[in-house]
Structure 1
Amino acid sequence: MSTYAFIIGVSAIIILSFLFNLVARKTNVPSVLMLIALGVGIQYLAPYVGLELEEDHRLMNQLKILGNVGLILIVLEAALDLELKREKIGIIVRSFVVATIALVGSSFLIAFVLTQFFSDASFFKALVYAVPLSIMSSAIIIPSVGRLSKEKREFMIYESTFSDILGIMFFYFLIQNAAAENAGTILVDVGKNIGLTLVISIVASYALVVLFQKITSQVKLFLIIAVLMCLYAIGKSFHLSALIIILMFGLILNNTGVFFRGPMRRLTNKEKLKPIFHDFHVLTLESAFLTRTFFFVLFGITIHLASLVDVRTAVISCIIIGSLYLVRWFCLLIIVRKQIIPQLYIAPRGLITILLFYAIPDGWMDFHGEVLTSYESGYDLTIGNFESGILLFTILITSLIMMISLVLDRGGKVRDVLKITLGNNSDSNHDSIIDDIEEYQVEINPQNSSNGDETANNSESKEE
């Protein structure tokens, strides 16, 4: 391929990805599905246009590089969206509890399912595979919930963000302690690891935020991202929970009023930090957009569609999906208690699921990500005959379920307004009145409640 053809191809993919985002906003069809379809299309059209794709193992290496960059940007992006405010403590706690219970519960239930279908899968290996499948995709959810009522929208944003962060940490916790001899050893090692990482994270994050506002050069945003990636790589080299560094920096930068109190308040200047934070957030969004675009296209190129028509793959995928929604229904019913629709069905899987799947040690790298010179079975946590089609099936179906639920959802905005008007309390009479009004509104004008909130549609959101 010539240099100019390559430039045209890369540019065309970015342009199409942007158009996919516009289509996604209008139709609620997740752009991730369109990007994967684009990759599949490139895979099958390549031979007819004389395009030679690289071998699978080289594409996998590129996926892993994009994967590491993607993890950093996703966690940073999620942290920059978390606002720690006193009035939001209730919704933050509820969403955190739901995300935690759903993640752990789904992981153990799916692990049990996998042990029933794969004879060579120990429960630990099955759990390693189950965690990626149990993580919700905030990158898909956040742009998709703009038309929900304010309360539901904020709940989904916080829950999906917590699911991303906790899921990634849970996965690497399992991987890095795969060789531990007993539970006591694991607890001691994890305590030391997290404790040391937290100390480094807090010191580095405070220093970076203070330094951030003092840099007068026009070129500084990519400098900060480079420093964060360097800290992440150094942390991984020393087997630390390096993503905590990224998480802590994002939280402190987005909530300087919470973390810089008393005498420390003099170290920050809100007037300087506000525009810098805005520009940095935009840069993170743009960078994450590019990373996701090429990751999903490359993923589509590596997919073997034959696995989708395999009956066994379809059966396993459907049982996994059923398990996800069963655990989610239980969590929402216990924690949220009422008005759990459409939140119940907004649980798509996406980038994190694929990234972590390709991070499972296969015997050619140790449990800390170090490449080995030869294959060692002791570092192999893969399950034989596990079809990647299960991942694709799960991503497709959960995304379609979310799309359908959002299209069918009615009355969310009406309920939000009526609650404010009648008084936002737990009075059962108020809820009954609101339910009756919503039903009547849908009967006389089913189109009205689907128009959404134009303000929410114009608000800042993640690009998938």
Structure 2
Amino acid sequence: MNVNIALLSISLIAIFGFLSEILFRRTNIPDVIFLIIIGFLIGPNGYGFTSPEDLSSIAPVVTTFTLLILIFDGAFNINLSSLIREFSSSLVLTIYNFVLSTLVVGGIFYYIQEFHLGGTSMMAALVIGFSLAGVSSSFVIPILNQIRVGGKLFSRLALESALTDVFCIVATLSVIEVYTTGIFGIQKTLSYLIELFAIAGFIGVLGGIVWIVIRVFEEQNYIITIAYLILLYLATESFGGNGPIAALFFGLILNNSKQLSSIKEGILSRSVEEKKKAVRGDLGIEVTSASEEKFYHLISFFLKSFFFIYVGILLDITDQTALVVGGILSVLIMVVRMASMPLTKGMAGAQRKLVNAVFARGLAAAVLIQAVIQAGMPGADYLARVVYVVIIGTIMLSSLRVFILRLSLAKKDK
């Protein structure tokens, strides 16, 4: 790729990302839709300014880095005190929706492919089920901010989106690991995954503790933290663990450093009053500042912009089968979301409707399906086309339901 074209591309990605966010604020249409449309228009199915082949050399690096930053940045949305406080409601809702969505979406995909479209593998069905089981945090958080949702409902939905992103990544990467290593059988697979997670968890937690202790790079710690994160990823992979999972644990330690360090001080203290302060988190030290977290969000924002433009370039509307299957799965995801109604009985009517209206899939699914392609799984290109259709379909359906809900609430206010 020509240097000038590469620099122009970086500039345009940032500009398009910024403009799409402005359009989202003005029109309530998610920025992801605009980014995918831009990618489609400049891609081979549009005006042909670029093609997937032009980006093939950098795609694996960008995919890995995006996945790393996505899960690291996502960890900053998981606050241990909020998790404990909302444990009985948020976590139950999250696990219920994740498991139900995985089973239904993966099961229906397997049924359609196996009995109507010439067959598929259980591995492919698991990939579809797991990668599409999570509500997109890149969709949920902006939507909630846009309609000014606060309090417990915001915490529940934000926590659900953060956790399901993590669940999707962990589950899909586990399927990829099983495929690439060729380890099959329940006992062998479980043993391997436990080892994988143990290594990743140990290195991630240890890396986080070490980073809290040293904290010597006060001036340039933003970039140094990213460099340190990459080293943790490489170390974990070299020891046979899973790099992104280590990034998750590292992010959790940094985000909850004040609470964790306060608990440590409380354990060491003999004073009852000090122990009470420790429980409240008053004795701890915050390792990351608000500006530092914003910096990580900005990196995630740029990578999101690039990735959805890339998805638009890859989008192939000539594959009618993928369009139909993706459309069916999109509607199915919307219907499955309604099955969470029994778990929201304690909420007000409008809140229950909002919970059911927010179900779009997004960045995690797009990044994960690229990881599946890089792993060389059979039929991965077709799976990717289905996933892209589902991402667009669920975003459109979810946006429509939120829009209708807002209109109905506005009429009631009048």
TM over 0.5: yes
Residues 1:108 and 1:211: Cα distance change in structure 2 (over 3 Å):
same
Q: SS of the residue aligned with 2:220?
A: coil
Equivalence map 1:404-443=2 (5 Å): 404-410=400-406, 442-443=411-412
Residues 1:322 and 1:288: Cα distance change in structure 2 (over 3 Å):
same
The structure that has the greater radius of gyration is 1
- Correspondence for 1:187 among 169, 187, 190: 190
Residues 1:7 and 1:383: Cα distance change in structure 2 (over 3 Å):
closer
**Range moving further from structure 2, 384-393 or 13-22:** 384-393
Gaps of 5+ in 2: 269-280
Equivalence map 1:147-226=2 (5 Å): 147-178=148-179, 179-212=182-215, 214-216=216-218, 218-226=219-227
Equivalence map 1:260-339=2 (5 Å): 260=261, 261-263=263-265, 274=286, 276-307=288-319, 310=320, 312-330=321-339, 332-337=340-345, 338=347, 339=349
Q: CA deviation at 1:24?
A: 0.8
Residues 1:206 and 1:317: Cα distance change in structure 2 (over 3 Å):
same
- Correspondence for 1:107 among 102, 105, 116: 102
1:394 aligns with 2:371: no
Q: CA deviation at 1:172?
A: 1.3
Show the counterpart of 1:359: 371
Separation in structure 2 between the aligned mates of residue 90 and residue 229 of structure 1, nearest angstrom: 32
Q: CA deviation at 1:282?
A: 1.4
Separation in structure 1 between the aligned mates of residue 326 and residue 124 of structure 2, nearest angstrom: 17
Separation in structure 2 between the aligned mates of residue 194 and residue 388 of structure 1, nearest angstrom: 26
CA contact (8 A) 1:313 1:390 kept: yes
Separation in structure 2 between the aligned mates of residue 327 and residue 404 of structure 1, nearest angstrom: 17
Please provide the CA RMSD for this pair: 3.1
Show the counterpart of 1:96: 91
Give TM-score, length-normalised by structure 2. 0.84
- Residue type at the aligned position of 1:286: L
Residues 1:385 and 1:221: Cα distance change in structure 2 (over 3 Å):
closer
CA contact (8 A) 2:197 2:242 kept: yes
CA contact (8 A) 1:201 1:245 kept: yes
Equivalence map 1:75-154=2 (5 Å): 75-85=71-81, 89-118=84-113, 119-146=118-145, 147-154=148-155
CA contact (8 A) 1:99 1:162 kept: yes
Show the counterpart of 2:272: none
CA contact (8 A) 2:132 2:168 kept: no
Separation in structure 2 between the aligned mates of residue 385 and residue 272 of structure 1, nearest angstrom: 48
Separation in structure 1 between the aligned mates of residue 79 and residue 37 of structure 2, nearest angstrom: 35
Separation in structure 2 between the aligned mates of residue 208 and residue 228 of structure 1, nearest angstrom: 10
Q: SS of the residue aligned with 2:134?
A: coil
- Correspondence for 1:382 among 378, 383, 396: 378
CA contact (8 A) 1:25 1:144 kept: no
Show the counterpart of 2:36: 36
Q: CA deviation at 1:129?
A: 2.7
- Residue type at the aligned position of 2:26: K
Q: CA deviation at 1:26?
A: 2.6
Equivalence map 1:446-457=2 (5 Å): none
Show the counterpart of 2:355: 343
Residues 1:313 and 1:45: Cα distance change in structure 2 (over 3 Å):
closer
Show the counterpart of 2:55: 59
The superposition leaves residues 330-365 of structure 1 with CA deviations (integer Å, 9 ceiling, x where unpaired) of 2x2232224421211211111111111111156xx5
Separation in structure 2 between the aligned mates of residue 93 and residue 360 of structure 1, nearest angstrom: 34
The superposition leaves residues 383-433 of structure 1 with CA deviations (integer Å, 9 ceiling, x where unpaired) of 38836442232112211122222223349xxxxxxxxxxxxxxxxxxxxxx
Q: CA deviation at 1:21?
A: 0.5
Q: SS of the residue aligned with 1:348?
A: coil
Q: CA deviation at 1:116?
A: 2.5
Separation in structure 2 between the aligned mates of residue 18 and residue 67 of structure 1, nearest angstrom: 21
Q: CA deviation at 1:207?
A: 0.7
Separation in structure 2 between the aligned mates of residue 10 and residue 265 of structure 1, nearest angstrom: 49
- Residue type at the aligned position of 2:19: L
Residues 1:257 and 1:5: Cα distance change in structure 2 (over 3 Å):
closer
Q: SS of the residue aligned with 2:58?
A: helix
Separation in structure 2 between the aligned mates of residue 195 and residue 12 of structure 1, nearest angstrom: 41
Residues 1:16 and 1:57: Cα distance change in structure 2 (over 3 Å):
closer
Residues 1:78 and 1:130: Cα distance change in structure 2 (over 3 Å):
same
CA contact (8 A) 1:107 1:134 kept: yes
Q: SS of the residue aligned with 1:81?
A: coil
The superposition leaves residues 217-257 of structure 1 with CA deviations (integer Å, 9 ceiling, x where unpaired) of x2221111111112112312333132232222222222223
CA contact (8 A) 2:132 2:361 kept: yes
**Range moving further from structure 2, 63-72 or 163-172:** 63-72
Separation in structure 2 between the aligned mates of residue 274 and residue 66 of structure 1, nearest angstrom: 30
CA contact (8 A) 1:346 1:401 kept: no
Gaps of 5+ in 1: 366-379, 412-437, 446-464
Q: SS of the residue aligned with 1:386?
A: helix
Give TM-score, length-normalised by structure 1. 0.75
Identity over aligned pairs, percent: 20
Separation in structure 2 between the aligned mates of residue 64 and residue 291 of structure 1, nearest angstrom: 13
CA contact (8 A) 1:64 1:355 kept: no
CA contact (8 A) 1:59 1:302 kept: no
Q: CA deviation at 1:4?
A: 4.5
Separation in structure 2 between the aligned mates of residue 174 and residue 296 of structure 1, nearest angstrom: 24
Q: SS of the residue aligned with 1:347?
A: coil
- Residue type at the aligned position of 1:390: V
**Range moving further from structure 2, 292-301 or 223-232:** 292-301
- Residue type at the aligned position of 1:304: D
Separation in structure 1 between the aligned mates of residue 110 and residue 100 of structure 2, nearest angstrom: 16
Structure with the larger helix share? 2
Separation in structure 2 between the aligned mates of residue 45 and residue 185 of structure 1, nearest angstrom: 44
- Residue type at the aligned position of 2:237: K
